[in-house]
A and B are shown apart, each in its own frame.
Chain A
Amino acid sequence: MIRQLFQLPSVLLRLCLQRHRGQRNGQSDQTGVFRCQIKLSRIRRLTRLLGLLAFSCLLLTNVTISSANASDTIAGPVQQVLITHNDNNRQTEVLRRSVRAMYSMRMRTWPDGSPLTVYVLLDDDPLHQQFCRDTLGILPFHLRRSWDRLIFSGKGQPPIAVKNMQEMKQKISETPGAIGYITGDQVDASVTILKIL
């Protein structure tokens, strides 16, 4: 059954083996081997080229689909802001590189050494995608990939995912040292806006 699966390549394979054997023995009919070699190299080059072409087509066909998806998910310009727990001692400004370091999960404390807890919305949430793109400058699946590397090597923990902005706001207002993001119109006295420098 499997042999049938490989039937097409195995024809090529047999020819290749013939060539290899011919080269190794060196006693067989030289012109025959030579002719076989020419044919083979052509066929092999052609099949490789065709395979690559087919694959490239596959790669390219979805470019339009994915870009269409991206534009669908974000409806108009929504201003997103970084928020933190209401703690008078805590800073109200943060460096962009620190935000990036916090969300890469490599930075585990605030600059003053106090504990840091990072909150995110789910990967497919439009606001998360916007935050990744605008504030972090990265696509959500790249960020997920780097978190996975940290988690499965034991070198770090992922951020805490929340379902919506209400939950995000509530968690941040309850957790000292928490950081997260919501849209500007959702901000109230329960949280403090962090200005990105």
Chain B
Amino acid sequence: MLFGICINVSTQNSSAEELLYSFVINQGLVATSDNNFYGDSDDSISFQYTELSANGSYKINSHFRVAGQVLYRRAGETSDSVDIDYLFIDSQIFGSEAFNLGINLGRFKNPIGLYNDTRDVAFTRPGVFLPQGIYPDALRDIYISSDGALAYANLFRALGQWHIELAYGAPRLEEFGDFIPKSIDISDAKILLGRIIYEHDLGRWQLGLSYIRQTSDLSADNLNALSLPLPLTSPIRGDEQLEQYLFTAQYNHNTWTLTSEYARTSAGLSASPFSFASPAPPFDLVTVNLSTDFETESYYFQLQKQLNDRWSSLLRWDVLEPNKGNQPASFGNVSFGYIDSTKTEDLTLGLRWKIADSMMLSTEYHYIEGFAWVSPEDNLDVDLKSPWHMIALSFSYRF
């Protein structure tokens, strides 16, 4: 119905019609001394890091616009699919010299921190990978995009601009990976997002705060583990919730950019303990407690330097501390989406070469202590080790 309205509007103002589109290709190589990251990288080279995206924006008139992106992403064993990353109608309700107001309806990118909105586009990332402490692949399904409505306001002041966003919708959360058995259904997933960013002097200084509150219901009448049906004595009912505060700060001075983000996440599951008869002799009754509650703290400091028109460099220290809370996760040693709950530090050195306006080559070296953010799917039969090293290279092309 909304499309119908837009088409009518566009026929009245055909001179203002404008369709812009672009394609981005990114192919990465990852080699690690231990542990797998984005494919079989342990003592080998993984090519399983590919992003292909096509995005378009159709300006119907100065008040209505449609924007969308289709994304193919291969990241080791964690993702290999084509999805509609976002597709929404952007309607600017009011615009003046002092501020404007608008609403996005459809599937929108979750406004979280500095990089989440464009996390899968190589040209907007500071390096080959985003800092995993703040933008972990483990929580990707909650982070990427949501179906619903996003309201925004931009305030134009003499000293700077304020960008305020508030969104509510359903996150694209289908499963929690290996965190909980896949036969547990997730339903009624909801997300509330808020972000406020102040850009002083067109971004010389940038300060921001993002807030996420996400909840969902969990249920299972039957459980499968290792392809064996486990007869439950009673169905599982429970809920999951995640809350995060994220602070963003960036300072640009000439060719230097200093960025830091800090996030505090509290997440938990509450479900009644469930029991099932062990499928193997002596067929004892096994009781599992899924309930867990914990806090995660993560932050990074990042220094970027534009060396000249073609070259730039990156230095970053990234820290993730899962399970800062008192209650350890009761489902083995696995924290909410993370493979391990030990503190993980990542020191990154990066170099980027802009071959042409549309082409670039990025390379990175990581020295990592801990392995909380590596994916369980990529490391099923791997004896995880720390510290470890990683070299990554990516080639990106836009047209």
Contacts and interface: CB of A to CB of B under 8 A. Distances in A.
What band does the interface of chain A fall in when counting residues whose beta carbon is under 8 Å from B?
35 or more
A104 interface: yes
B241 interface: no
B202 A62 contact: no
Contacts of A17: 385
B65 A97 contact: no
A123 B86 CA distance: 28
A64 B95 CA distance: 44
Given A65-B307, A97-B158, A107-B156, A152 B313 contact: no
A137 B204 contact: yes
A113 B69 contact: no
A13 interface: yes
Contact of B109 (A52, A55, A107, A154): A154
Interface in B141-159: 152, 154, 156-158
A184 interface: no
B67 A154 contact: yes
B20 A157 contact: yes
Contacts of B134: none
A163 interface: no
Interface string B64-92: 01011100000000000000001010101
A124 B100 CA distance: 31
A30 to B, nearest CB: 23
Contacts of A48: 347, 367
Interface in B283-315: 305-309, 311, 313, 315
Contacts of A16: 387
Given A106-B154, A151-B22, A152-B118, A139 B255 contact: yes
A59 B67 CA distance: 38
A104 B44 CA distance: 44
Contact of A154 (B44, B57, B95): B57
A146 to B, nearest CB: 6
B252 A142 contact: yes
Interface in A14-60: 16-17, 20, 48, 51-52, 55, 58-59
A74 B351 CA distance: 28
A158 interface: yes
B108 interface: yes
A62 B311 contact: yes
A104 to B, nearest CB: 6
A59 B305 contact: yes
Given A115-B61, A138-B204, A157-B18, A108 B100 contact: yes
A10 to B, nearest CB: 6
A64 B125 CA distance: 26
Contacts of A125: none
Contacts of A63: 255
Contacts of B12: none
Interface in B75-132: 86, 88, 90, 92, 95-97, 100, 104, 108-109, 117-118, 121, 123-124
Given A55-B315, A153-B117, A108 B92 contact: yes
Interface of B: 13, 16, 18, 20, 22, 24, 31, 33-34, 43-45, 53, 55, 57, 59, 61-63, 65, 67-69, 86, 88, 90, 92, 95-97, 100, 104, 108-109, 117-118, 121, 123-124, 152, 154, 156-158, 161, 163, 199, 201-204, 252, 254-255, 305-309, 311, 313, 315, 347, 349, 351, 357, 367, 385-389, 391
Q: Which 10 A-B pairs have the closest CB atoms?
A: A154-B67, A153-B117, A62-B307, A115-B62, A111-B97, A152-B121, A101-B156, A152-B118, A109-B95, A6-B33
25 contacts: A5-B31, A5-B391, A9-B33, A13-B34, A16-B387, A55-B315, A62-B307, A63-B255, A101-B156, A108-B62, A109-B62, A109-B63, A109-B95, A113-B95, A115-B13, A123-B357, A138-B202, A138-B203, A138-B204, A139-B306, A148-B124, A152-B24, A154-B57, A155-B104, A155-B152
